Structure 1
Amino acid sequence: MVQYDCPYIRTTREHDVAFHAQHWDFNHADRTLETRLMVIGESREELSGGLETLGEYQMLRDYDLLARKENTAVLRSRIDETDAMRTILHNDGYVTGPFVIRNGSELWNVGFDRGEQADDALAELDRNNEFTVKNDDSIHIDEFFDVMQNVDSLCALLSALQGLTDTERATLEAAVEKGYFSTPRQTNLEGLADEFDISKMGASKNLRRSQRKVLTELVRVINDVEAQLDLEEGPRVSGGSDESRDPEPISE
């Protein structure tokens, strides 16, 4: 999604920074979006420039810098309702997951209760925004319940993905796309190193860090799902005990 009136997107056009939403809340009374964001700059200088540029846009009501360390910051901000936000809300749409903003565009996860609402929203969005629909899936009610029962675990996994640096994310994506995990392998560490013009050791470190962050949370999700299934199924009775068999008739 490219919103021409979004201060976050405008900032990423001018500076090498990325915004990762941690929490958001839309205020219907004053038509503003309050968001807590993690901002990651390619360098300290890029982060400083991005924060300075962000504060200059009229659509930004205010923001507080909650924490900062090297090239990463956490801030709370309020922006005016954008055209795309207005369109989504007008068609009873809702945000279903965190959004990420980088390189002049942002990735939205948006839901609608009915297909015709989604069609109407996309038609209206096309007037003043540029966007590409990456996935258009309908969720069955059983799948919906599965998601709701494991929402905390899924949020933890999303947080792990958001915690990847741009370099770690790019390295992991390249490893998947170039066939590093295929059998047989279609590329190796040397190939990944050449992709980013770094040493094999550097490529290995970036890949291992990204794998560790993602797989740690993925294992937790798997364990949580298995625990939920065990809870739903209840205690299991062994089929080999004498108590489970029909009683034999008593002979006189």
Structure 2
Amino acid sequence: MRLLILEVWQPDCPVVYVSEKIGNIKLYAIDSHIENSNIRALLHISADDESSLQTALDIIKKHSQVKSLRVLWKCQQEICAELVCNVTNAMHSLAFAPLIFHRPLLTSRGLEKWIIVVENKTKEKEVLCCLKENNEVRIKKKISGFPSTPQDFWLITEPVFRAKLISIGDMLQLSTTQQKVLSAALEGGYYSYPRKTNLKQLSEKLGISKTAVAKNLRSVENKAMRVLAELIEITGKEY
């Protein structure tokens, strides 16, 4: 079997639409499936503030594809709701594709993270062809021989938690310069106590300005703090 993690943009999906309109929200589609010619799913929506949450709900309710949206619970900056909408092109294609399993997950800034499991390379090609007909699709990761261990099933049995970890992985992407600066800082003991090197020494070693070293380290540190905040959030909550 083969497992694919995809980024998908669906032009006819209300969840994608609202995430494009409001940049600071994240939506997790849980148990998204076709039922009586409709898509039914649970949506977990989180945002930086309550007003963004309310705006997101208003946008989804008014979307032409949406038939109903029922809020199940609301807590500060999070909402869980039941969504019923028209079947999107992507979901319709998958209904007739040779899939073993699929789960659309995190949606943020217009892109959805999907997990797809197929039997072999030939069927993988067929599924991707179906998806790409009306949508934009990019492969983020492939795992051949899935499941190779019992732990592999965790990828699909803990959807929200897994989606958050995928999101964290995206947050950790560094530029080539950032990687070099971080590597030099760690090797030189910049983060040791007491410090064994400073910005000037790193600047001389890397052959870039002291300002550039400081700027790149600050960017890396900002990403690291965001990742830490996400890890604290997901390890401190139950779903």
Which range, TM-score by smaller chain? Answer: 0.5 to 0.7
Select the structure that is richer in strand: 2
AA partner of residue 34 (structure 2): F
Q: 1:55 to 1:95 in 2, by over 3 A?
A: farther
What does 1:239-250 align with in structure 2 at a 5 Å threshold?
none
| Match status 1:195 vs 2:219 | yes
2:15 pairs with 8, 28, 35, which one?
8
Identity of aligned residues (%): 12
- Give the structure-2-normalised TM-score: 0.66
In the alignment, the residues of structure 1 paired with residue 71 and residue 77 of structure 2 have an alpha-carbon distance, to the nearest angstrom, of 13
Partner secondary structure for residue 172 of structure 2? helix
AA partner of residue 173 (structure 1): L
What's the counterpart of residue 3 of structure 2?
none
Cα deviation code 1:162-200 (max 9, x no counterpart): 568x8xx49962689945985852886x8688439xxx8
| Match status 1:46 vs 2:45 | no
What's the counterpart of residue 67 of structure 1?
73
TM-superposed CA distance for 1:24, in Å, is: 3.0
AA partner of residue 195 (structure 1): S
Q: 1:159 to 1:129 in 2, by over 3 A?
A: closer
Q: 1:9 to 1:98 in 2, by over 3 A?
A: closer
Root mean square deviation, CA, Å: 3.8
In the alignment, the residues of structure 2 paired with residue 15 and residue 133 of structure 1 have an alpha-carbon distance, to the nearest angstrom, of 25
TM-superposed CA distance for 1:85, in Å, is: 1.0
TM-superposed CA distance for 1:214, in Å, is: 6.3
| Match status 1:147 vs 2:167 | no
Structure 2 unmatched ranges of 5 or more = 1-7, 192-213
- Give the structure-1-normalised TM-score: 0.63
Partner secondary structure for residue 71 of structure 2? strand
In the alignment, the residues of structure 2 paired with residue 159 and residue 79 of structure 1 have an alpha-carbon distance, to the nearest angstrom, of 21
In the alignment, the residues of structure 2 paired with residue 203 and residue 119 of structure 1 have an alpha-carbon distance, to the nearest angstrom, of 35
Partner secondary structure for residue 54 of structure 2? helix
What's the counterpart of residue 229 of structure 2?
209
Cα deviation code 1:188-218 (max 9, x no counterpart): 6x8688439xxx8x9886454334456789x
Bigger relative contact order, structure 1 or 2 (CA pairs below 8 A, ≥6 apart)? 2
What does 1:1-252 align with in structure 2 at a 5 Å threshold?
1-16=8-23, 17-27=25-35, 30-97=36-103, 99-139=105-145, 143=148, 147-148=152-153, 151=154, 155-156=157-158, 159-160=160-161, 162=163, 169=168, 173=172, 178-179=178-179, 185=186, 194-195=218-219, 206-212=226-232
In the alignment, the residues of structure 2 paired with residue 91 and residue 84 of structure 1 have an alpha-carbon distance, to the nearest angstrom, of 10
Q: Which has the larger radius of gyration?
A: 1
In the alignment, the residues of structure 2 paired with residue 57 and residue 160 of structure 1 have an alpha-carbon distance, to the nearest angstrom, of 28
**How many pairs were matched up?**
202
Structure 1 unmatched ranges of 5 or more = 218-252
AA partner of residue 135 (structure 1): K
- Point out the more displaced range, 132-141 or 80-89: 132-141
Cα deviation code 1:44-85 (max 9, x no counterpart): 222111110000112112111111122221111112211111
